[in-house]
Amino acid sequence: MTAARILFALFLSVAASLSLTPAQAAPAQGTDYSLINPPQAPSTEGKVEVIEFFSYGCPHCYHLSPLLSEWEKTQLPANAVLIKVPVSFGRREWGQLVRAYYTLEATGDLKRLDAKLFDAIHAEGQKLFDVDALAGWAAQHGVDANKFRSLFNSPEITAKATRADQLSRDYKINGVPTLTVAGKYRALGKDYPDMLRITRELAQQEAAN
């Protein structure tokens, strides 16, 4: 992660903390969130499900990523879980990045390389939009390239990529990043800290019901 990106994340984290005040009014439909219609059944039992729909190819997702990581550590309610769903919107390049996400998850390297892949594409300008480029990049970061290639087009990864695309259609996602709560709410907000504040409050509200 670049130094500028770290400073940006710290700035946004402070802003997010300042926005979480006890006097904050309950989230309002139309201003703070929109309803998902029809509501979607969460896949996680016993937890309020927060989903981030994103793409490694999206510059807005890149800017949200460090703030979301910090938010998950410090602001995500204990009775909630964050799930990340990569989307393609039918774009071939983004579809390759969906597979890259699930391939790194399968090799156990996702947590270690998630931010690095964002940086490689957006800070370093690397064109990581096919299996050859992605396998080569992964190998430079300690991942077995042959294993990466084998998994990349495997039935397991194909099924996960197909499921991710279906989820984005079911949730009627037409832009990223998008945060949803409990299969019912799509967080809005005037900026990323505000969107994360609203997401937290919606999750707390849902847990109390």
| pLDDT of residue 16 exceeding 90 | no
Write down the CATH number for the domain with range 32-41+48-208: 3.40.30.10
- Cβ-Cβ contacts under 8 Å for 43 (sequence gap 6 or more): 49, 83
Scan for tokens 């079911």, then name that residue. 170
Residue type for 7, please? Answer: L
Rounded Cα distance, 41 and 182, in Å: 8
- Could you report the per-residue pLDDT of 138-154, keeping only the tens digit for each? 999 999 999 999 999 99
Which of 40, 60, 59 minimizes the C-alpha distance to 50? 40
What's the rounded mean pLDDT across residues 75-79?
95
pLDDT tens sequence across 167-201? 999 999 999 999 999 999 999 999 999 999 999 99
The distance from CA 87 to its chain's CA centroid, rounded to whole angstroms, is 10
pTM of the model: 0.88
* The pLDDT of residue 25: 80
pLDDT the model gives residue 138: 98
